Every structure is written in C-alpha cells, then in structure tokens.
Amino acid sequence: MKTIEATGKTVDEALKAGLAELGAKEMADVDYEVLEEANVGFLGLLGGRPARVRMWLQAPEVKACRLLEKIMEKMGIRGETQIEEVGEYYEIQIDGDDLGILIGRRGRTLDALQYLANLAANRGSAKRARIIVDVASYRKRRAETLRNLAQRLCQRVRRQRRKVVLEPMTPQERRIIHLTVQGEKGMVSYSEGEEPFRRVVIGLEE
C-alpha cells in the first residue's frame, strides 16, 4: 500500500497536502497518523517545526465498510461491521439488533446498500474489488430457503410432469436456484422475462 509523509504549518494543512499527493478525493478515502504536531517555536520565529503526518489510501473494502458505518450512524442504527476476505471478494457482515430496516422487503434495501458500497469501494480505481454485504446473515438464510424451495419444486415438477414458474428474483437468487436444479437428475431450469421481473422456470429435461 502506498504510504506518504506530508508536512504543513498545521496538521490540517499537512493532511490537505497529503490528500493532493495521494490523489484522493476527500479525507474519508484516507487513513493517517500524526507523526509530529506543529511547533511554532519561540515567538513564532525560532525553532519552528512543521506538522508531519503519515497517510495512506484506504483499501476498497475499508472504504465500503466506512460508508456502511456512516449510513448506519445517520440512520440511527447500531450495528457491528466485520470484513472477511472470501476468495475473490470481500464480505462485510453487519450484526446487531433491529437491523430489518437495512434488509427491506425481499432484501431490496440490502441490495441497494451493497450496490452503493461497491461504488464507493471502487471510486477512481481501475481494479474492481467485489463487495458482498450481509446483514444478520440474511443472505445465508435466504440462500438456504431458495435451495429448499428449488428441491421441493423439482419434486413437484417430477410428480405433476408440468413446469413451474417462480416469482421474480435477483440474478444472485436465480443463480442459487439454477445451481440447485443442476444437481437434480432429469431437471432443467432457465430464466425468462426482463429485469427486474426475470423469473426462473423449472421443467423436465426433454
């Protein structure tokens, strides 16, 4: 990670200079430590020393996490965040009481927060970090529900020998259904319709 040292008449000025040098947009994008406070010296004449700070750009996942924390603070919601690296992406877990408001109906608020967190993480950078946001393990529980649903529907399709059309889902949710159906012998699934009303159809293999 790129770390720089900057100086200025005051800590604020040193930070401002460092911000420009790092090419960062605002203080929210950087972390810093103060190495030395400014010393004005005797009567502002002798032995004055500038303030020195060490600064570095925040990692994308940290930027995303900070945004989520600030959003919760403004909404008056208390939650703990935790970042975990999972393969090619980062998962930010938010835990606490009364977090339903962050999830919303069918996880729509959660999806919006995740989308915004990804935008904040990748602002001004060519490399894309992928961020998954989960609140109170909602996504994990939802995935389990979807897998069970897909298995039940496969049994029904086999029994009734008639395809079923599911309710509209997000691409991630549809993916879970498709993966589950793939593991079921003689069953196929595909999606039809346009976003955001795209639905999965489960049927028998021809």
Partner 1 sequence: MIELVETIVKAIVDEPDAVNVTEKEEDGLVTLELNVAPNDMGKVIGKQGRIARAIRTVVKAMATKKGIRAELEII
Given 9, 25, 78, 152, the residue binding partner 1 (CB under 8 A)? 25
Helices (H), the chain: 11-22, 60-75, 100-103, 108-121, 138-160, 171-182
Q: Is 149 exposed, middle or buried (0-12, 13-18, 19+ CB in 10 A)?
A: middle
Whether omega for the bond prior to residue 196 falls within 30 degrees of 0, making it cis, is yes
Is the CB of 7 or the CB of 109 nearer to partner 1? 109
Nearest Cα to Cα of residue 35 among 59, 18, 20? 18
- Least gap, CB of 8 to partner 1 (angstroms): 19
Site map (CB under 8 A) of partner 1, residues 45-64, x = contact: ------------------x-
* 112 vs 165 by CB, closer to partner 1: 112
26 or 88, CB closer to partner 1?
26
Quick check: 197 binds partner 1 (CB under 8 A)?
A: no
66 versus 142: smaller Cβ distance to partner 1: 66
Residue 177's identity, in one-letter code, is I
Angle at 144 between CA 139 and CA 145, to 5 degrees: 95
185, 203 in Cβ contact below 8 A? no
Q: How far is CA 123 from CA 21, 48, 65, 97, in A?
A: 17, 39, 14, 31
Candidate list 116, 129, 143, 188; residue touching partner 1; CB under 8 A: 116
- As a whole number of angstroms, the distance between CA 120 and CA 128 comes to 11
Is residue 102 within the footprint of partner 1 (CB under 8 A)?
yes
Q: Which residue has the tokens 């904040």?
A: 120
User: Measured between alpha carbons, how far is 83 from 58 in angstroms, rounded to an integer?
Assistant: 14
Q: Given candidates 1, 26, 86, 161, which one binds partner 1 under the rule CB under 8 A?
A: 26
Q: Judged by CB under 8 A, does residue 76 bind partner 1?
A: yes
Rule CB under 8 A: say whether 108 interacts with partner 1: yes
- Could you say which residues in the range 174-193 bind partner 1, by CB under 8 A? none
* Nearer residue to partner 1 within complex by CB, 2 or 74: 74
- Binding of partner 1 by 150 (CB under 8 A): no
Query: Cβ closer to partner 1: 77 or 188?
Result: 77
Applying CB under 8 A, the residues found at the interface with partner 1 are: 25-26, 28, 63, 67, 70-71, 74-77, 101-102, 104, 108-109, 111-113, 115-116, 119-120, 123-124
